Amino acid sequence: MPPPDDDTGALERARHRLYETTPPVEETPTTLSVSGSPRVPHEWQEDPLPTHMPEHKKRHLRFASIFFGFAMLFFLVSLGVAAYVVYYGGNTVAASNIDLTVQGPASIAAGDTVPLVVTVTNKNLVAVQNAKIEIAFPEGTRNASNTLEAYPRYEESLGDLASGSTITRTLQAVIFGAAGDTLTLHTSFSYGTTGSNATFVKKSDYPLAITSTPLEVKVDTLTETVSGKPFALTLTVRSNASVPLDNVVLAATYPYGFTVSQTSVPSTDNHFVLGTLAPGEVKTITVTGVLTGQANDERAFHFSIGTAKSASDPTLAITYMTQQAVVAIATPFISATISVNGDSSASAAVSPGTRQNVTVSYANTLATNVSNVTVLVALSGAAVDYNSVTTTRGFYRSVDHTVVFSPDKDSSLANLAPGASGLGTFSFSTLPSGAAAGSPSITLTTSISGTRAGQSNVPEQVQATMSKTVKVLTAVALTASSLHASGPIANTGPIPPQADLATTYSVVWNVKNPGSAVAGAVVTATLPNYVAYTSKTAGDGNFSYDSNSRLVTWTIGDLAQGATTQGVFQVVLTPSTSQKNTSPPLTGIPSFSGYDRFAGAHVKATGVAPTIETKGDPGYVPVQGSVAP
């Protein structure tokens, strides 16, 4: 086959068809072509471009357009936000852009003067207004320039604080606290902004550790004592502060069974008010008392030192230290018990002007013999009649008012075997009520001593002591009488009284208290069935009558030492014929009761029932004192 007339190469023709804008004209087959036979393209020839885009390519185009639209919208929104921040966001104020710092020591000794540096920086792009700084100090903080002045808070108004500016404040405070505590200083910076009434606050806390206490207390006492034996506790208070401390108080908590007998410093509800302590000042308090309990018991004493709430309230506001002392109760080498009239309690009450019987019992509690035992009982007190002391198997040493039981009077005391016991007795009289000067009490102090063989078989002295207080009750005197023609209440009726006719009488009760004060004094009596109560009364106190029990009650109240009082009430007597020529009583036997404040015991007294014999009336004659025949 001859080559075609077109000398253009196949590659060039393909390029031409690719870039031409009109669709290519289909070639007419040559005469050599066979009708219906396929035309075989040149190997470099490509298919012509389609005149219409396929459907799947149209979908890709729409998706790209939508994505491009969203991207453009996001760009425009971001551009708007950025513009707003640039033009308006610079006027906002954030607390995070306020720096508030407190600088100072991390730990101090309580009572030291603490220097503090407070720094505030405004990192906002605009100024803040009405700025104010505050620091809340722990309770008990004092002003460094005047330690007697409380310093609970530091406050300062700063006005406006420009953007980027910093203010610094330096201050001092005397801070107290208990050793080992960590205190917190609460700092706050408050401010406002333009166009807003709101107040914003920036806060910061500053921890401060307390390494030592400004006040300390030390307790010195026995580690072991015998039940009932007096012993002392020595309390030493020291100020470690660098400034004076006022309203210093030592609070004591005593264990069960401990009774205070004496203190070197007065106390109120177990609080010792020490006042103002200068730096380094030391004060000592001695507490003496008696601890009672079973052998091998342990009792704990607690003493807290601090400052009071106020000068009038000794309760501790701040406690700086608490010390504990444990005292064990040991079995005495020689046990002793003393009883008065059979009463072996630590304190007893007896009547004035009466005989008192005292018994001293003792026993050897050791596992070895005790030889040459001596028992001494010393008497003291204003209520004792020292000339009335008598004893058996003992000796009364009048020079020092001591009863002595020793081997020369009682041979059993020459040697007490383990567990062996014995008794010593004596008696004495109390003085009449009102005769004793001062407080009518008696103290019996017992001392027992002996010799035992020690661990190295060397003789050693053993002893035990105990005391007993006996208080003497007041002797209240109650008298009762009757009146008709005289007295504060007017009476009527025939005298002498006649059977079946009414006659009124005044019953007079008199009470005298020669001894210590009495509380809750009351006199009562029951009326016979032939006597009626009229409700007419006179004198001190208040009268009442119970018609069911027929009991008349005279309520006196308190009776001071040496006081006397009188009460009068009226009754109506209607005698029976069976009572002719007799002097019937107007009341039953009157009785008095009250509470002796000093002795801590109830007192009682009785009187004689008054009759119609009105011996106190002027012109009284015996015939008037009986029912007419």
What residue has token string 């004793």?
436
The pLDDT value recorded for residue 368 is 82
pLDDT band at 565, cuts 50/70/90? Answer: very high
Tokens of 258: 């401990």
Model confidence at 32: pLDDT above 60: no
Largest CA distance in the chain: 198
The more confidently predicted of residues 271 and 311 is: 271
Distance (Å, whole) CA 271 – CA 273: 6
The pLDDT value recorded for residue 12 is 65
Tokens of 71: 């991207």
The more confidently predicted of residues 56 and 243 is: 243
Domain ranges within the chain, ordered by starting residue? 54-87, 95-206, 215-330, 335-472, 477-625
The pLDDT value recorded for residue 291 is 87
What residue has token string 């308006």?
88
pLDDT band at 30, cuts 50/70/90? Answer: very low
CATH homologous superfamily of 335-472 equals Immunoglobulins (2.60.40.10)
The pLDDT value recorded for residue 310 is 80
The pLDDT value recorded for residue 525 is 97
Residue-wise pLDDT for 454-506, tens only, equals 545 546 666 777 788 888 888 899 999 999 999 999 999 999 999 999 999 99
Q: What angle do CA 487, 491, 492 make, to 5 degrees?
A: 155
The pLDDT value recorded for residue 94 is 82
Average pLDDT, the chain: 84
Model confidence at 235: pLDDT above 50: yes
Nearest to 467, CA basis, from 448, 493, 495: 448
The 3 state secondary structure assigned to 248-285 is EEEEEECCCCEEEEEECCCCECCEEEEEEECCCCEEEE
Nearest to 248, CA basis, from 283, 287, 209, 288: 283
How many C-beta atoms surround the C-beta of residue 90 within 10 A? Answer: 11
Residue-wise pLDDT for 419-443, tens only, equals 888 899 999 999 887 766 556 889 9
The pLDDT value recorded for residue 512 is 94
Distance (Å, whole) CA 144 – CA 151: 9
Pairing status of strand 224-226 against strand 182-192: unpaired
Per 3-state DSSP, the chain is made up of helix, strand and coil in percentages (nearest 5) of: 10, 50, 40
The more confidently predicted of residues 356 and 12 is: 356
CA atoms within 13 A on the CB side of 469: 13
Model confidence at 45: pLDDT above 70: no
User: What is the arithmetic mean of pLDDT over 301-319?
Assistant: 85
User: What is the arithmetic mean of pLDDT over 69-90?
Assistant: 61
Tokens of 596: 């002796």
For 314-338, give the DSSP string. Answer: -SEEEEEEEEEEEEEEEPPSEEEEE
CATH architecture of 477-625: Sandwich (2.60)
Whether 215-330 shares its CATH topology with 335-472 is answered: yes
pLDDT band at 34, cuts 50/70/90? Answer: very low
Distance (Å, whole) CA 469 – CA 467: 7
CATH homologous superfamily of 95-206 equals Immunoglobulins (2.60.40.10)
Q: Say if residues 328 and 296 touch (Cβ distance below 8 Å).
A: yes
The pLDDT value recorded for residue 109 is 80
Model confidence at 159: pLDDT above 50: yes
Lowest pLDDT segment from 61-75, 128-142, 344-358: 61-75
Residue-wise pLDDT for 193-204, tens only, equals 887 788 889 998
Considering the chain, what percentage of its residues have pLDDT values greater than 90? 44
Lowest pLDDT segment from 452-466, 552-566, 590-604: 452-466
The pLDDT value recorded for residue 508 is 97
The pLDDT value recorded for residue 287 is 94
The pLDDT value recorded for residue 394 is 92
Model confidence at 586: pLDDT above 90: yes
The more confidently predicted of residues 225 and 529 is: 529
CATH homologous superfamily of 215-330 equals Immunoglobulins (2.60.40.10)
Model confidence at 38: pLDDT above 60: no
Model confidence at 8: pLDDT above 80: no
